[in-house]
Amino acid sequence: MKKVFLFEALHAATDEEMAKDPKVLVLGEDVGHYGGSYKVTKDLHLKYGDLRLLDTPIAENSFTGLAVGAAMTGLKPIVEGMNMSFLLLAFNQIANNVGMLRYTSGGQFNLPLVIRGPGGIGRQLGPEHSQRLEAYFQGIPGLRIVACSTPYNAKGLLKSAIRSQNPVIFFEHVLLYNLQENIPSEDYALPLDKAEIVREGKDITILTYSRMRYNVIQAVDKLITDNYDPEIIDLISLKPLDMESIGKSIQKTHRVIIVEECMKTGGIGAELTAQINEIFFDELDGPVIRLSSADIPTPYNGKLEQATIVQPEQIINTVKQICN
């Protein structure tokens, strides 16, 4: 076991897969000599050269299109979005090419492509750098969406994403890069379609992902002292949702809260609520409750920014209200 930061876990996954497979390359703004905005590709250009760590112009639509063409010819590109918000400029390539080409080509082309980078609400990054694009990409057929949340799952999931023959949108949270954890030294990979049971419990199921995992854990630590027994599930796979694991938990607790940093309207929680109601309605003792970010552009002001995000106290109060 070795204690590493989350960004180091992503670096190790990229390095190991590049060493194992010469078809793997990274492209994006400042991924080469600068080492990436959050140092996920630090010094890899010294090891693999400037063509496998390709510094691109500031043109997301162009270099995402380049990655699509590279994937169609058999390479395995990893596109780093310096901030995932910038990939809105490549939305056409992601929606009309990345998601569709395997289908529109009648299966003649695979798209072994990973699009990864930092997203989520940071600390006073302003509205344009605080986007939660998982909701934007969720409606695009042909994409798999994953959100890592720990150094352990970040490394294992990224390795699986790189090895996949299908396109993966890989979300990292800007505030989790300096999270530390012991991870195995030996090679490992994790399934891209499975949720993680963070804590088992019997009173209520709390579904969450990414940074909100830690707000939920903080809330649950207090709830335990008040004799509540919540179950925590980290979704990890945002598309497809692991309804099997979610269903087993609901059949045990019969109550559900979704805690997300996504917007409430049209967010991940909205789709999750719909699927729970369709499949497990008879197991519910009450309505599915969503705790989501406010439906406004994220303010720059620090106190206003915090007011838009779900806080542990809200989670505590909601759990008590539902369970009582």
Each of the 324 residues of the chain gets a pLDDT tens digit; together they read: 899 999 999 999 999 999 999 999 999 999 999 999 999 999 999 999 999 999 999 999 999 999 999 999 999 999 999 999 999 999 999 999 999 999 999 999 999 999 999 999 999 999 989 988 999 999 999 999 999 999 999 999 999 999 999 999 999 999 999 999 999 999 999 999 999 999 999 999 999 999 999 999 999 999 999 999 999 999 999 999 999 999 999 999 999 999 999 999 999 999 999 999 999 999 999 999 999 999 999 999 999 999 999 999 999 999 999 999
pLDDT digits (tens, 9 = 90+) for 8-18: 999 999 999 99
Helix, coil or strand: residue 311: coil
pLDDT digits (tens, 9 = 90+) for 183-203: 999 999 999 999 999 999 999
Amino acid (one-letter) located at 13: A
Which domains are seen in the chain, by residue range? 2-183 (3.40.50.970), 196-323 (3.40.50.920)
Q: Measure the CA–CA gap between 130 and 122, rounded to whole angstroms.
A: 6
Catalytic-role residue among 45, 129, 260, 261 = 129
Catalytic-role residue among 8, 17, 60, 260 = 60
Which residues contact residue 102 at a Cβ distance below 8 angstroms, ignoring those fewer than 6 apart? 109, 110, 111, 142, 166
Please state, as a whole number, how many other Cβ atoms lie within 10 Å of the Cβ of residue 320: 13
**Continuous H helices in 164-287:** 212-225, 243-253, 268-280
60 catalytic per annotation: yes
Q: Measure the CA–CA gap between 260 and 216, rounded to whole angstroms.
A: 10
271 catalytic per annotation: no
Q: Measure the CA–CA gap between 169 and 106, rounded to whole angstroms.
A: 22
Identify the pLDDT of residue 50. Answer: 95
Beta bridge partners of 79: 27, 115
